[in-house]
Amino acid sequence: MIHILIKDKVDPFVVEQLKQKGFIVNVSIDHAESLLREVKENEILIVRSATKVNEEVIDSAAQTNILKMIIRAGVGMDNIKADYARSKGIQVVNTPDASSLAVAELALAHMFVLAKKIVIANSGMREKKWNKKQCEGIELSGKTLGVIGMGRIGRILAKKASALDMKIVYFDIIKPIEVDSSWKSVSMDELLGQSDFISLHIPANHSDKGFLIDESEFKKMKKSAFLINTARGNLVNEEALIKALDYEEIAGAGIDVYCQEPCNNSSLIQHEKISVTPHVGGSTKEAQFRIGERMIEMIEDYQKNKLLKEGMLDRN
């Protein structure tokens, strides 16, 4: 019987479905201190972004060699030492497609919030202030969206922005697929200088080159530009962002991810020119359901392959 350990919150239907299919499911949310012991006893580990699966955790699992698969319920695997786990014979997978639509919609939502000055409007109304004059916004139609990273999420966002009559330019070090002929590939500097909205859709920065967006990049942007980051917190120098906003080098920003989470940078999260959300890019009912479905498929595939190897299932 396959034992599955769930360390972060997932859709309740996942637990119910797995139990109905005969798996032994151990839910251990908010008990980080027990992880080192639990990975010795379970064959499959399911995490989201909160649980850190580092070398110590993997070494602990290797003591019994029971853990065979780690599933990241979501896109990025920054919280998992994936290569190290694989070197120990542990399969590491994620669900990259399931939340792409949700993240793209959030990026677009931040664009609308910034364009219509909804942050200022909301806070003012709650303080019983009629800030109508301060809330004159702009239209997205006719503006240029610069997409950095034209992967799944970048392409979905570009399609939605195109439907709003926005011009699309993009920068990607890898030649993207399924790109509309009206979208223009440009250099990074060209994108920074041309775009009214700049949206980041690339993996976390693990290089020694520093932040992708830092002081020099902000200086290349239009003073009327807006930066959107729903990708990874360490792509943007948060202090440089605050400085760029205070010195009116750019007009605003929409941020869902942070260098440290939960974010306690009050200068960032309370800035009137920033639209902030608490890393909720993939947090829609639909996305979580799709993530759950994909995880169940992965686990059933793992079970099938295991039975085939053990000769307990007909290969035909």
Query: CB neighbours (10 Å) of residue 288?
Result: 23
Q: How far apart are CA 203 and CA 72, in angstroms?
A: 15
Task: Please say if the pLDDT value at position 21 is more than 80.
Answer: yes
Task: Please say if the pLDDT value at position 315 is more than 80.
Answer: no
Which pLDDT does position 209 carry in this prediction?
Answer: 65
Which pLDDT does position 199 carry in this prediction?
Answer: 98
Hey, which CATH number is domain 100-276, 3.30.930.10, 3.40.830.10, 3.40.50.740, 3.40.50.720? 3.40.50.720
Q: Which residues have a catalytic role annotated?
A: 232, 261, 279
Compute CA 34 distance to the chain's CA centroid, rounded to the nearest angstrom. Answer: 27
Query: CB neighbours (10 Å) of residue 285?
Result: 9
Domains 3-98+285-309 and 100-276 share a fold: yes
Q: What whole-number percentage of the chain has pLDDT above 90?
A: 85
Task: Please say if the pLDDT value at position 207 is more than 80.
Answer: no
Q: Cβ-count burial of 203 within 10 angstroms (0-12 exposed, 13-18 middle, 19+ buried)?
A: middle
Average the pLDDT over 297-301 and give the result. Answer: 96
Which pLDDT does position 314 carry in this prediction?
Answer: 61
Query: pLDDT category, 276, cuts 50, 70, 90?
Result: very high
Which pLDDT does position 269 carry in this prediction?
Answer: 95
Query: pLDDT category, 145, cuts 50, 70, 90?
Result: very high
Average pLDDT in the chain: 94
Q: What is the pLDDT of residues 68-125, one digit of tens each?
A: 999 999 887 889 999 999 999 999 999 988 999 999 999 999 999 999 999 999 999 9
Task: Please say if the pLDDT value at position 144 is more than 90.
Answer: yes
Average the pLDDT over 307-313 and give the result. Answer: 72
SS3 210: coil
Alpha-carbon torsion angle 23, 26, 32, 38, nearest 10: -70
Which pLDDT does position 238 carry in this prediction?
Answer: 97
User: Cα-flanking dihedrals φ and ψ of residue 92, to 5°?
Assistant: -125, 125
- Stated pTM of the model: 0.87
Which pLDDT does position 78 carry in this prediction?
Answer: 85
Among 251, 205, 261, 262, residue whose Cα is nearest residue 228: 251
Does domain 3-98+285-309 correspond to CATH entry 3.20.20.70? no
Average the pLDDT over 15-29 and give the result. Answer: 96
**Structural domain boundaries of the chain?**
3-98+285-309, 100-276
Lowest mean pLDDT segment, chosen from 200-209, 254-263, 300-309: 200-209
Lowest mean pLDDT segment, chosen from 79-88, 216-225, 282-291: 282-291
Lowest mean pLDDT segment, chosen from 4-8, 127-131, 167-171, 251-255: 127-131
Q: What letters, b where the CB count within 10 A reaches 16 and e where it falls short, cover 53-88?
A: beeebbebbbeeeebbbbbbbbbebbbbbbebbeee
